């Protein structure tokens, strides 16, 4: 746990109010208390307050407290700051001129000499965060990875000037920073999301752009330009000329920047002046970075790691050994030339489109609790699907939407779908066949989380397709 004592001793007011006592909030409260601060802990739910009491923290109702004594309100990013309306405690803190921050800000104040890399975007930020951290670790760098991804910021180790914090940053967290300056900021992409928390699309983009706050020419901004809104952000930041900017793309050839063309990662940024763009690696040879969206992730990781001083060889080595993220186009197994891919994180059609666009000869397992619009927008990918295996609550609705465009089978449950898909893929014998779980749906009709759904898929694959599984003379799974 991060030691905040040096920072706490430098402040006149020693009271820190903490609102929201989930994992990150409770970690922040405990870190502050152990570092000598007086902590007023509060959660609207009694379960949160009970956990804080068990941890020895002081419970103070922040809806009725003396704000004159409070230095900062450390607020869980999940609690509304502005929309649809501010939480009453946030409104009271703002009225009393008390800063409202999140735990990532405290990490920066405790370890200001470390290098901070921040990654944001609607899609791909978790993979990019993990990929950057993996490359740095394999190159022998001192790295800690967390933030919105996995480990809360104050559970990370203390790092000095030789260390690098690689932090996934949500729009909620970016709204709660006061002094943190990212040495390298990544703005991956933007599409409508969390609009209820930011008012509208412009409010959402504004929150994401906080990742550039306080940066100067000594810092770097890496910005994806594969969508219209992100291109506008790049143009604005580049024209202002306050920050070193590097454009990246997963499929557009750039005159200057880092891009991928026909799967080839190319550097036209870190090369000597007046030299030809340099091809770095053929990403088609890296199994765990498939598809245009992962190509953008790779371009972002390359630009970041080169900015941090790594060589091309170190970056290529790290990419090649990247294990990928669970439930995000996760390669479970290759058996008899058939790949089994767990993309359970694809809980809507937009996410499923990235997976469907990454493969051919797909045996697609889809269904669950559908989002608005279902799979209507996936029509451009239907020609890649050999057969669909529909499960869960929306199976019949998806069947109607597929109509005659894609052959399908109603399977109800995941184990049946895996068995039928594996059989069909084995019998058809198409080259590069893929059994793909990319549900385009939430999991809640059959599973408590997409993680449990993905774990069940992996279990089914290992039981049905494992070397010990019984097969008939045609290579099919025995019923």
Whichever domain contains 376, its CATH number is: 3.90.190.20
- When pLDDT is averaged across residues 22-26 and rounded to a whole number, the result is 93
Tokens 């209820």, residue located: 196
Whichever domain contains 290, its CATH number is: 3.40.1190.10
Looking at the structure, tell me whether residues 352 and 307 fall in a common domain. no
Looking at the structure, tell me whether residues 314 and 175 fall in a common domain. yes
- 0.85 exceeded by pTM: yes
Looking at the structure, tell me whether residues 64 and 85 fall in a common domain. yes
Q: Which two tokens stand for residue 17?
A: 């109010």
Whether residue 475 is contained in a domain is answered as no
Q: Where are the beta strands (DSSP E) in 188-337?
A: 220-224, 244-249, 257-261, 264-268, 278-282, 330-335
Looking at the structure, tell me whether residues 303 and 451 fall in a common domain. no
Range of the domain at 210: 111-320
- CA–CA gap between residue 119 and residue 69 (Å, rounded): 34
Q: Which of 101, 120, 148 is the last residue of a domain?
A: 101
Q: Which two tokens stand for residue 472?
A: 């008939």
Whether residue 106 is contained in a domain is answered as no
Contact 171/82 with Cβ under 8 angstroms?
A: no
- Give the Å distances, CA to CA, from 476 to 160, 306, 472, 479: 56, 48, 6, 9
- CA–CA gap between residue 433 and residue 363 (Å, rounded): 7
3-state secondary structure 208-240: HHHHHCCCCCCCEEEEECCCHHHHHHHHHHHHH
Cβ burial 84-94 (10 Å sphere, 16+ → b, else e): eebbebbebbe
Q: Residue 380's pLDDT band (boundaries 50, 70, 90)?
A: very high
Looking at the structure, tell me whether residues 369 and 452 fall in a common domain. yes
Q: Which of 271, 300, 320 is the last residue of a domain?
A: 320
Q: Is 122 annotated as a binding residue?
A: yes
- CA–CA gap between residue 206 and residue 195 (Å, rounded): 12
Q: Which of 67, 101, 135 is the last residue of a domain?
A: 101
Whether residue 325 is contained in a domain is answered as no
Whether residue 387 is contained in a domain is answered as yes
Looking at the structure, tell me whether residues 37 and 142 fall in a common domain. no
Q: Is 479 annotated as a binding residue?
A: no
Whether residue 396 is contained in a domain is answered as yes
Whichever domain contains 24, its CATH number is: 3.40.50.720
- Specify the number of domains making up the chain: 3
Output the average pLDDT for the chain.
Answer: 92
Q: What pLDDT shows up at residue 471?
A: 38
Contact 440/366 with Cβ under 8 angstroms?
A: yes
Q: What pLDDT shows up at residue 274?
A: 78
Looking at the structure, tell me whether residues 280 and 389 fall in a common domain. no
Q: What pLDDT shows up at residue 470?
A: 39
Looking at the structure, tell me whether residues 125 and 263 fall in a common domain. yes
- Report the DSSP beta bridge partners of residue 118: 167, 185
Q: Is 311 annotated as a binding residue?
A: no
- CA–CA gap between residue 226 and residue 355 (Å, rounded): 17
Q: Is 297 annotated as a binding residue?
A: no
Q: Is 48 annotated as a binding residue?
A: no
Per-residue pLDDT tens digits for 180-193: 999 999 999 987 65
Looking at the structure, tell me whether residues 28 and 80 fall in a common domain. yes
Looking at the structure, tell me whether residues 242 and 350 fall in a common domain. no
Looking at the structure, tell me whether residues 240 and 382 fall in a common domain. no
Q: Which of 63-72, 129-138, 144-153, 469-478 has the lowest mean pLDDT?
A: 469-478
Per-residue pLDDT tens digits for 300-325: 999 999 999 999 999 999 999 999 88
Tokens 């996995």, residue located: 150
Contact 205/190 with Cβ under 8 angstroms?
A: yes
- Measured from the Cβ of residue 183, the count of other Cβ atoms closer than 10 Å reads 17
Q: What pLDDT shows up at residue 202?
A: 86
Q: Is 367 annotated as a binding residue?
A: no
Looking at the structure, tell me whether residues 204 and 60 fall in a common domain. no
Whether residue 3 is contained in a domain is answered as no
Q: Is 123 annotated as a binding residue?
A: yes
Per-residue pLDDT tens digits for 406-452: 999 999 999 999 999 999 999 999 999 999 999 999 999 999 999 99
Percentage of the residues of the chain whose pLDDT score is greater than 90: 82
């Amino acid at each position: 746990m991060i030691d905040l004592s040096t920072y706490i001793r430098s402040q006149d007011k020693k009271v820190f109010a903490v609102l929201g006592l989930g994992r990150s909030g409770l970690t922040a409260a405990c870190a502050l208390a152990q570092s000598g601060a007086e902590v007023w802990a509060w959660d609207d739910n009694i379960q949160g307050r009970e956990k804080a009491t068990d941890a020895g923290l002081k419970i103070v109702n922040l809806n009725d407290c003396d704000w004159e004594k409070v230095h900062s309100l450390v607020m869980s990013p999940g609690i509304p700051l502005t929309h649809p309306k501010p939480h009453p405690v946030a409104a009271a803190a703002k009225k009393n001129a008390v800063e409202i921050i999140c735990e990532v800000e405290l990490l920066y104040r405790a370890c200001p000499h470390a290098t901070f890399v921040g990654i944001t975007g609607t899609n791909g930020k978790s993979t990019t965060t993990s990929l950057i951290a993996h490359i740095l670790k394999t190159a022998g760098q001192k790295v800690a990875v967390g933030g919105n991804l996995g480990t809360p910021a104050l559970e990370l180790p203390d790092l000095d000037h030789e260390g690098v914090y690689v932090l996934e940053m949500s729009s909620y967290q970016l709204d709660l920073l006061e002094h943190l300056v990212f040495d390298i900021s990544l703005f991956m992409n933007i599409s409508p999301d969390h609009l209820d928390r930011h008012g509208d699309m412009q409010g959402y983009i504004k929150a994401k752009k906080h990742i550039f706050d306080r940066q100067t020419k000594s810092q770097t901004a890496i910005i994806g330009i594969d969508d219209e809104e992100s291109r506008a952000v790049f143009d604005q930041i580049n024209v202002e000329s306050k920050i070193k900017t590097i454009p990246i793309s997963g499929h557009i050839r750039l005159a200057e920047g880092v891009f991928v063309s026909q799967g080839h990662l190319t550097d036209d940024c870190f090369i000597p002046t007046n030299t030809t763009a340099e091809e770095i690696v053929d990403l088609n040879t890296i199994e765990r970075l498939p598809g245009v969206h992962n190509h953008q992730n790779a371009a972002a990781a390359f630009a970041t790691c080169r900015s941090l001083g790594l060589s091309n060889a170190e970056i290529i080595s790290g990419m090649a050994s990247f294990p990928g993220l669970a439930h995000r186009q996760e390669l479970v197994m290759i058996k008899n030339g058939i790949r089994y891919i767990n993309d359970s994180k694809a809980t809507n059609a937009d996410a499923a489109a990235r997976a469907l666009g990454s493969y051919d000869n797909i045996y697609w397992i889809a269904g669950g609790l559908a989002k608005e619009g279902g799979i209507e927008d996936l029509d451009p990918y239907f020609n890649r699907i050999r057969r669909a295996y529909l499960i869960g609550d929306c199976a019949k609705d998806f069947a109607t939407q597929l109509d005659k465009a894609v052959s399908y089978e109603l399977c109800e449950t995941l184990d049946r779908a895996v068995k039928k898909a594996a059989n069909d893929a084995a019998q058809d014998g198409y080259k590069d066949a893929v059994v793909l779980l990319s549900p385009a749906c939430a999991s809640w009709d059959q599973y408590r989380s997409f993680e449990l759904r993905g774990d069940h898929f992996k279990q089914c694959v290992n039981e049905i397709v494992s070397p010990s599984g019984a097969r008939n003379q045609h290579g099919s799974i025995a019923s």
